[in-house]
Structure 1
């Protein structure tokens, strides 16, 4: 037991540094860009002209119908065959962004669709145009609906970043693999990596609960003021 504890403590700085340097930035950057892509895709499907809506549907169909690991392999290992060379981190960032964009687009589309049509009519009756109604009336209400599923997507992304190890991104899980290669202690080191992911997920879940309570109160105050 003391030997295992010594191995864990000696590997902890390496794993934490890999998490801070690669896992956390990869998660935040890909989720932020994926959220923007998801919003644009959802708007294109709901309100865009048919060519844009068709492209958006095709994109969502492709991404949601194929494994994330395959998508990462296509980008990192497949694109060089047509002359497109990407380093590991940018390739992972593109892959996760495209994947998150497809899934968040469905969440945002459902949230926007859940807003009653009367809210559009009310916004137009005050003289707002479409963009103003979307920005000031529809999106604030859709945001409250979409917070729980978007938070779940973000938490899942934290764990999914471990797949970036397959394309040589030196994030937390690959750091664990490298330490295993020198210590020959796969059980304890993979358990240690799992504990770190568990702690991150638990913290994010607690923050999610607080956000949901805050937005539910905000939503309740809006209903009371109508």
Structure 2
């Protein structure tokens, strides 16, 4: 493998991680916000959120990406491939995160909220001190699974010109006429990224277990 190939893989890895992290950091809180709206059963807005989530969950990521990339400029909103990629990833994962958060909220014991209200805790304080820590713990495995899936679907971003790990492997394989070695390298690059995410999950779970045992 030439220095140029190594550089291409390094740049692809940086792009994959950067876009995935951006999508995750945006999608997590947006998904939580959407879930709270549905949980609170806000009139009209709650139904609109449910429709929005249903449409996004049913729309393939590549279709959403192409729609954003080609439709937004037609309405006067210029967008480059990387911005379109971040927006598509964020919208896609926020819809799935919404359902994960909502499931945890629906399973949350209401008697705890009633007890907090009886001692005069405000809605914001109840959410920060009682609701959020518990639903975060309950949702963590599913959220990490969704994050892993998000990382593994980043190759579809190549349709708008984004060069990630897989796209770099395709290019190198086409140039060398030996596709197997580049794809083996791609697998070797994806593995530690996913492993790091899973390791972070386990670290958080250990911290939570230690805090509860204290």
Tell me how far 1:81 sits from its aligned partner: 4.1
1:86 paired to 2:79? yes
SS at match of 2:120: coil
Superposed counterparts of 1:154-173, under 5 Å = 154-173=147-166
Tell me how far 1:165 sits from its aligned partner: 1.3
Tell me how far 1:79 sits from its aligned partner: 3.5
TM-score scaled by length of structure 1:
0.87
Give the alignment partner of residue 118 of structure 2, picking from 120, 125, 149: 125
Uncovered stretches (5+) of structure 2, i.e. residues with no partner: none
Conserved? CA contact 2:35–2:99, under 8 Å:
yes
1:18 paired to 2:24? no
Summarize deviations over 1:23-53 as a string: whole Å, max 9, x none: 1111111111111110110011111422110
Conserved? CA contact 2:158–2:164, under 8 Å:
yes
Superposed counterparts of 1:44-59, under 5 Å = 44-59=37-52
Summarize deviations over 1:175-203 as a string: whole Å, max 9, x none: 22222332222222122112211221123
When the two structures are aligned, how many residues end up with a matched partner? 214
Partner of 1:98 in structure 2? Answer: 91
1:61 paired to 2:44? no
Superposed counterparts of 1:111-190, under 5 Å = 111-190=104-183
Partner of 1:224 in structure 2? Answer: none
Q: 1:219 to 1:75 in 2, by over 3 A?
A: farther
SS at match of 2:148: helix
Structure 2: distance between partners of 1:203 and 1:43: 29
TM-score scaled by length of structure 2:
0.91
Conserved? CA contact 1:38–1:101, under 8 Å:
yes
**Mean alpha-carbon deviation: is it higher for 96-105 or for 127-136?**
127-136
Structure 2: distance between partners of 1:58 and 1:208: 31
Structure 2: distance between partners of 1:114 and 1:189: 46
